[in-house]
Chain A
């Protein structure tokens, strides 16, 4: 049976809309935007001379670390919480999944209203007798943490689902055996539950880490292109504000290289698995 033709439409589509654009991105990145000379390093020189690019690169490398760490702690905490017997469990679960269920742009625009200096958070703080805060001030550490926190809040439900699935798969007898042997709750968690969750934790970190490298909407909506730049928003800025295809493509290529390097551990795991 010559059944392979069934995959042809998909493969052709991916060749045209994935492989070809990526090749085009590389060609654009190595083409001089002004003179059209190819190959040329002019576009890379343009972005290397731009302080905003270097800030974007640094933020792009640091942001996923903080965001994924926050998600992991929150997701694990929630999974442990939902492994307990809870009343109105389905309702509670729906509420916990809600931030991820909302369209990303809806969640981000309302979070901006919450975090701006005259937003709901400042209002609540003033109501409690504290000072208003500006958590989105351009270039501050506070805004870096805000972007990471907001992204973590939105994607924690994914980590939560992965870890909850793994957690309820652990046979109850294992915990009981440890309890019979006199292990405290903390020791049972540290020496029994956590090692058994390891594969799920690694999977969640890889999945979310690679996603977080591509972060675009959260920094753009919360802080604009210059407040807390990442490589994706920097490329968007070069393209839409300066019309510089070459510089935008060059920044995209840098991000793509970072993503490919970061996905090597993932691919290695797939091969050994």
Chain B
């Protein structure tokens, strides 16, 4: 009897958590006037794809999509390039690791607005503000990606026995070859997880995107303005576009997340 109540409660909570996703998809696929209906509809009365073309007419959607993808991919590359060597070093030298830790945690916890405002002013001077290829936004997003990539990769390199690297070097491999042929392949799963996570961080990012770009906007600010100006259907169509990579990446990451949680519980 009590057990049935617990199961019922779990399903009820799960159901409530699905409501926002359901309503986004519903609004995206029903005509704009249905989104304004009173009382509001919970299931679509009329299905349409017109919101996607409508959103593309209202805002530079294709440009936004291209910018979002471009900035996210560039952010993944720069973040990994900066984090990989530093994470390896931090895993091998505890005294370096603890110092880098402090800096990286500071980057993670410092208020975005206190970096975004001066960065916007600096970028205006450098001509990177509202850059048509999103270069300024890319440089800012790298700052958000670094803490995630650094911490994931350092943990992964800690799992690679130093003896393995020493053995390769004794056999005559250069430090570079040892890293590329021995250490890097062993951390590939974590590298993949870090890359996907950093992609999502950039893809979802809103504050820097709002402050550093005005006419060349990525998807999150476009979605925000469509919603703020009262277009629930059009904004939901953009939201659905944003959801696709987010959901795909999270499904791919789910095993890593699960093993991560299990690793945390094993301690």
Contact = CB atoms under 8 A, between A and B. Distances in A.
Interface of A: 1, 3-4, 6-7, 9-11, 13-14, 17-18, 20-22, 24-25, 28, 78, 81-82, 84, 86-87, 91-92, 94-96, 98-99, 101-107, 109-114, 118-120, 123, 126-127, 161, 164-166, 168-169, 210-211, 213-214, 216-217, 220-221, 224, 231-232, 235-236, 239-240, 245, 248-249, 251-253, 255-256, 259, 263
Given A105-B206, A120-B40, A7 B100 contact: yes
Nearest to A95: B14
7 contacts: A17-B119, A82-B10, A92-B11, A95-B13, A236-B210, A252-B111, A255-B114
B21 A92 contact: no
A3 B110 CA distance: 29
Contacts of B96: 4, 7
A34 B232 CA distance: 40
A104 B121 contact: no
A267 to B, nearest CB: 8
A177 to B, nearest CB: 20
B55 interface: no
B208 to A, nearest CB: 11
Contacts of B228: 221, 224
B199 interface: no
Q: Which of A21, A95, A224, A236 has the most CB of B within 10 A?
A: A21
Contacts of B18: 95, 98
B69 interface: no
Nearest to A92: B14
B266 interface: yes
B115 A21 contact: yes
A28 B264 contact: no
Nearest to A17: B143
Interface residues of B, number: 85
Interface in B236-251: 236, 239, 242-243, 246-247, 250
A102 B246 contact: yes
Given A214-B111, A235-B117, 15 more contacts: A7-B96, A14-B104, A14-B143, A17-B119, A18-B110, A95-B13, A103-B203, A103-B242, A109-B236, A111-B20, A113-B27, A113-B232, A165-B261, A232-B207, A248-B117
Contacts of A253: 114
Interface string B113-141: 11101111110000000000000000110
A172 B80 CA distance: 41
A236 B112 CA distance: 11
Given A107-B20, A110-B23, A259-B109, A11 B120 contact: no
Nearest to B115: A21
